[in-house]
Amino acid sequence: MTDSALDVAARIARGESSAVDELEVCLARIRRHNADINAVVTLDEAGARAAARAADALRASGGPLPPLLGVPMTVKDAFETAGLRTTASHPPLAHYVPASDATVVARLKAAGAVLVGKTNLPELASTPQCWSPLFGPTRNPWNPALTPGGSSGGSGAAVAMSFSYIDPGSDIGGSIRIPAAYCGIAGLKATENRIPRSGHIPHLPGGRRSVRHLLSFGALAPSVADLQTALTVLAGPDGLDVEVPRVPIQTVSPPGRPLRIAWWDDFGGLPLCRRTRAALARTVAALEAAGCVVERRCPDGFDVVKAWQAYGWLAGTEIGLDMPALARRLIAVMGRFITRDQPIAHAFVQGLALDAQRYNRALNRRDRMVRTLESFLDSWDIWLCPVAPTTAYPQSELLWWRRPPDIPVDDAHLPFVEGAIGMVTPFSLTGSPVVVLPAGVEDGLPVGFQFVGRRWQDEALLATCAAIERVLGGCPPPPRLLDHA
């Protein structure tokens, strides 16, 4: 593993390094590698150096120090940053400069983090790859021909390359979890509504809000300890996002007994590639050898295909509410060519019809699946599942009027949407907290797994994942970073 955010903060706090020095190391990496990776799309060297000098002055003052003092951070370009361009990769926002920070950005700055720049994403965070119409593609640090995942693909690549040590993410269909897995880092999708969305695009600045479900926030970082700090910093109401309740941060330790871990690998019949299968077998064996109780189990009645349908209906309806009628009609026409092997895409197009009865059916199905999963987790500390059927795959520009290319899984091919997000959307539907942990490298590419916990019990999930991280050992840095260490 590379340095963590807390490693950097500790060095600065002890006087072994300065915030200015730590920043310059990151800027040097960006200068050396970003042209090849294209993770950072807006760099603020002057602002970062001023913030780093202020962090060093605060440390020299002898007062109490915030938890991320001097830690270089990047920010997904979907979050507004005061005085710094925020585009969400949406051409009409190419020159948009917000007057204030998104809540997550303001809170990370208040915790001492130093904003280095903004990271790439697909237009309006809309796809599980990272191809921007403004900035082009972000490339996977392990293999530039492959995707880093999306939509927080620039975030995942930046943290993996140690351009920064923490980057806040948003996740409606794996947008934190997929980049974490494909780039070999840790990621947290907190419980839905645990972290405010204020200042996140979409919705568009000054526009109405339509998405009320499925969207969660969190962070990408090198370690679980970093994610624990991020949750402490980011969670809680801000007086703007009225759906965020006041849930106090709890101090939680792992259970004082062997961990009980259920695992599952059958999501609607989606196959797993040989790398993912090998990593899953190795992970299960390592957890068993560490004394955990590990069983292949799935909640009774947790129907993945029905979850896909409900997810598609909800996403299509809520996203469609803010789309022009003509755009919805055009997509509906294209939807006639969707085949039966694309259930998520088909349900999304159905959702665009804005049928209130279908929408209500989806919400009721969501309620049942939440109850089913929560009841299952009464008996297990955590549920271990793959993030995707395959490791990172070849990236291509996705255009709404053209069927996206299938995703290769060894000798098979999966429809793009189902192959990309079929294993993450059930937990977007339930709003569950999920941590992604790297489980090593198979044949030159990192593999990560989802660890699903109970709603509103993010702290317990993270404490359990900290114990699991010690067993799995994390992931080494990408070879290109080691070559220039």
Same domain, 81 and 143: yes
Same domain, 231 and 290: yes
- The predicted structure's pLDDT at residue 455: 98
CB distance 70 to 114 below 8 Å: yes
- The predicted structure's pLDDT at residue 474: 87
Cα separation, 262 vs 385, in Å, equals 9
Same domain, 346 and 390: no
Same domain, 319 and 403: no
Of the CA atoms within 13 Å of residue 325, those in its CB half-sphere come to 0
Could you tell me the residue range of the domain that residue 364 belongs to? 304-369
**Dihedral (CA of 375, 376, 382, 386) sign:** negative
Cα separation, 95 vs 132, in Å, equals 15
Angle of helix 343-351 relative to helix 325-335, nearest 10 degrees?
A: 150
Same domain, 223 and 77: yes
In a structure prediction context, what are the per-residue pLDDT tens digits for the chain, which is 485 residues long? 689 999 999 999 999 999 999 999 999 999 999 999 999 999 999 999 999 999 999 999 999 999 999 999 999 999 999 999 999 999 999 999 999 999 999 999 999 999 999 999 999 999 999 999 999 999 999 999 999 999 999 999 999 999 999 999 999 999 999 999 999 999 999 999 999 999 999 999 999 999 999 999 999 999 999 999 999 999 999 999 999 999 999 999 888 899 999 999 999 999 999 999 999 999 999 999 999 999 999 999 999 999 999 999 999 999 999 888 888 888 777 777 788 789 999 999 999 999 999 999 999 999 999 999 999 999 999 999 999 999 999 998 877 667 789 999 999 999 999 999 999 999 999 999 999 999 999 999 999 999 999 999 999 999 999 999 999 998 899 998 877 65
77-87 as b/e, with b when 16 or more CB fall inside 10 Å? bbbbbbebbbb
Residue type, 10: A
β-bridge partners, 170: 217
Catalytic residue numbers?
A: 76, 151, 175
Is 69 part of a structural domain of the chain?
yes
Same domain, 289 and 308: no
Tokens (6 digits) for 318: 């809520």
Cα separation, 107 vs 98, in Å, equals 16
CA–chain centroid gap for 89, Å, is 17
Is 209 part of a structural domain of the chain?
yes
Same domain, 313 and 341: yes
Query: Which of helix, strand or coil describes residue 44?
Result: coil
Is 374 part of a structural domain of the chain?
no
Same domain, 271 and 319: no
How many C-beta atoms surround the C-beta of residue 482 within 10 A?
A: 10
CB distance 107 to 60 below 8 Å: no
Is 308 part of a structural domain of the chain?
yes
How many C-beta atoms surround the C-beta of residue 117 within 10 A?
A: 29
- The predicted structure's pLDDT at residue 339: 81
Residue 84 DSSP label: B
Cα separation, 286 vs 273, in Å, equals 20
Please choose, from the candidates 212, 120, 227, the residue with its C-alpha nearest in 3D space to the C-alpha of residue 166.
Answer: 227
Cα separation, 79 vs 121, in Å, equals 11
Same domain, 244 and 341: no
Same domain, 343 and 439: no
Long-range contacts of 247-253 (CB under 8 A, 24+ apart): 247/194, 247/456, 249/459, 250/459, 250/460, 251/459, 252/459, 252/460, 252/462, 252/463, 253/463
Please choose, from the candidates 108, 136, 70, 131, the residue with its C-alpha nearest in 3D space to the C-alpha of residue 220.
Answer: 108
Is 375 part of a structural domain of the chain?
no
CATH number for 128: 3.90.1300.10
**Dihedral (CA of 416, 420, 426, 431) sign:** negative
Q: What are phi and psi of 293, to 5 degrees?
A: -85, 115
Residue type, 401: W
Query: How many domains are there within the chain?
Result: 2
Domain end among 339, 369, 399: 369
Of the CA atoms within 13 Å of residue 214, those in its CB half-sphere come to 24
Same domain, 324 and 439: no
Please choose, from the candidates 462, 460, 405, 408, the residue with its C-alpha nearest in 3D space to the C-alpha of residue 435.
Answer: 462
Please choose, from the candidates 442, 438, 455, the residue with its C-alpha nearest in 3D space to the C-alpha of residue 220.
Answer: 438
Tokens (6 digits) for 444: 């030159």
Cis peptide upstream of residue 64 (ω within 30 degrees of 0): no
The bridge status of strand 114-119 relative to strand 72-76 is parallel
- Is pTM beyond 0.85? Reply is yes
Tokens (6 digits) for 415: 């429809």
Cα separation, 27 vs 196, in Å, equals 30
Domain end among 321, 346, 369: 369
Angle of helix 356-376 relative to helix 304-320, nearest 10 degrees?
A: 130
Domain end among 369, 390, 420: 369
Same domain, 270 and 402: yes
DSSP letters of 366-426?
HHHHHHHHHHHTTS-SEEEEESSSSS--B-----TTSPPPPEEETTEEE-HHHHHHTTTHH
Is 221 part of a structural domain of the chain?
yes
Is 110 part of a structural domain of the chain?
yes
CB distance 248 to 402 below 8 Å: no
